[in-house]
Amino acid sequence: MQQPARACGIDFGTSNSTVGWLRPGAPTLLPLEDGKATLPSAVFFNADEDSTCFGRAALAEYLEGYEGRLMRALKSLLGSSLIDGQTEVHGRALRFQDLLASFIGELKARAEARSGRVFEQAVFGRPVHFVDGDAAADRKAQETLEAIARQVGFRDVSFQFEPIGAALHYERSLAAEELVLIADIGGGTADFSIVRLSPERARGIERHEDLLGNAGIHIGGTDFDRALSLECVMPLLGYRGQMKNGAQVPASIFFQLATWHTINFAYTRQAWADLQHIYRDAALRDPLDRLSRLVSQREGHWLALQVEQAKIDLSQQPAASLALDRLEPGLALSISGEDFTLATRALVEQVGGCVGELLDQAVLRREQVDTIYFTGGASGVAQLRERIAAELPAARCVEGDLYGSIGTGLAVEAARRYG
């Protein structure tokens, strides 16, 4: 390759995004924030300063305590009915589609500032399913993302499955042919492809024959956060508690707070009125005092970040501790690996089942698969890696670049498609 590519590859992720641009003699991923290739998919509308910021800066301003509105897991809105709706930011209506456009427009602007050129063409990654088991809704999600890409100035927009992006990246490191199961487990989805990869095959234009199957399921790291939060943390705030009349405390606010992209729904006037109601009639006040403090101080994302960090810690150590002073002075919680396993067992099993079905449906014998290539941050969850590896006991496991693989591979695909 002599010339830099005309087009870029965009991995718009639930948790992190990257932009890849293939050019000779230079790294493919463009630095997007503080010299790092990832831009966390987060936006903060700072009410104190009437400004908007993105990525790590968005998380930092929120955590510093600025008044405002944090949005994370924006991609989860695609494929949900929320995408056609709007939210209120600083008293103004903001369409969710425009929110996504502001983030994707920022990705484009940063990539252009870094590369010193304008990108009019892009290959966007997409999960194998934006929506499980609903082809029409899935198509609509891709169309919405395409419309947003055009809205921010891309003229030619096309898509590639995220695990295929990872495959194209892994293939560049190979010296001989391998049959590979790509396992890309991100923040929002787990996506799998079975592909035949080799340096010779990499030169081909038409790769149809090399692709033996794709599968995906709408489970990712944010679902692990949610499960851990509901099982271990939300009970401290009243979840599964009782009302004076013996009924259960209504659960919807706990689900909102445990789910990244609905946290802000717990801050509406209606939610506050409902909470007052619950508070009056709850059998125990202490947990609801914590809940009221959390909601009134807008600490929902702070709590979700503590839970996410505990999940990440548990991928490296037997137990994790959470300092929950903001809920109640001195309050702390310890979560064991066993708690985590119990809370997330069903999710792990569903992901494992998805891989099992893919292997059953593909025309191959399981022993033929040489390698499992793991990518995506949530592939750090040991239980998930073990469950997937158990489907292919003879295969070698490779832990790939957890955050950069897809953006790099999409850049390869962009150069192939657009020159």
Diameter of the chain measured on Cα atoms? 75
CB of 145 to ligand ATP, least distance (A): 12
Residues numbered 8 to 47 that lie near ligand ATP (CB under 6 A) are 13-16
Answer for which of 219, 304, 312, 327 binds ligand ATP (CB under 6 A) is 312
In this chain, which stretch among 23-31, 180-188, 313-321, 341-349 interacts with Mg ion, using CB under 5 A?
180-188
Residue 48 or 399 with smaller CB distance to ligand ATP: 399
Is 408 among the residues that bind ligand ATP (CB under 6 A)? no
Report what 315 binds from Mg ion, ligand ATP, none; CB cut-off 5-8 Å by kind. ligand ATP
Distance of CA 401 to the CA centre of its chain: 16
Q: Which position has the token pair 């009243």?
A: 238
- Report how far apart, in Å, the C-alpha atoms of 104 and of each of 17, 70, 182, 222 are: 9, 16, 26, 20
What is the rounded distance in angstroms from the CA atom of residue 397 to the CA atom of residue 385? 9
* Least gap, CB of 369 to Mg ion (angstroms): 22
Q: Which residues of 50-66 are buried (b: 16+ CB within 10 A; e: fewer)?
A: eebbbbbbbbebbeeeb
Binding mask 178-207 for ligand ATP (x = CB under 6 A): --------xxxx------------------
CB of 175 to ligand ATP, least distance (A): 27
Contact yes or no for 223/308 (Cβ under 8 A): no
For the CB of residue 41, give the shortest distance to ligand ATP in the complex, in Å: 6
CB nearer ligand ATP, residue 220 or residue 238: 220
One-letter amino acid of 242: Q
* Helices and strands in the chain, H and E counts: 13, 17
The encoded tokens of residue 334 equal 């310890």
Say if residues 120 and 153 touch (Cβ distance below 8 Å): yes
Q: Report which DSSP code applies to 31.
A: P
The only residue of 8, 20, 39, 75 in contact with ligand ATP, by rule CB under 6 A? 75
CB of residue 13 to Mg ion, shortest distance in Å:
4
DSSP 146: H
Q: Nearest to residue 72, comparing CAs of 302, 296, 401?
A: 302
CB of 184 to Mg ion, least distance (A): 6
Cα angle for residues 353, 132, 414 (degrees, 5° grid): 100
Output 223 or 370, the one with its CB closest to ligand ATP.
223
Number of amino acids touching ligand ATP (CB under 6 A): 23
Of residues 232 and 388, the one with the C-beta less far from Mg ion = 388
Our finding on whether 407 is near Mg ion (CB under 5 A) is no
- In angstroms, the CA 115 to CA 109 distance is 10
Is residue 186 a contact point for Mg ion (CB under 5 A)? yes
Taking the least distance from each CB to ligand ATP, the nearer of 358 and 384 is 384
Name the minimum Å distance from CB 181 to ligand ATP.
17
Q: Which stretch binds ligand ATP (CB under 6 A): 48-56, 148-156, 299-307, 372-380?
A: 372-380
Q: What is the DSSP letter of 334?
A: E
Cβ atoms within 10 Å, residue 242: 14
377 forms part of the interface with Mg ion (CB under 5 A): no
Residue 83 binds to ligand ATP (criterion: CB under 6 A)? no
CA torsion through residues 72, 75, 81, 85, sign: positive
- Return residues touching Mg ion (CB under 5 A): 13, 186
- Return residues touching ligand ATP (CB under 6 A): 13-16, 75, 162, 186-189, 220-222, 308, 311-312, 315, 376-378, 380-381, 403
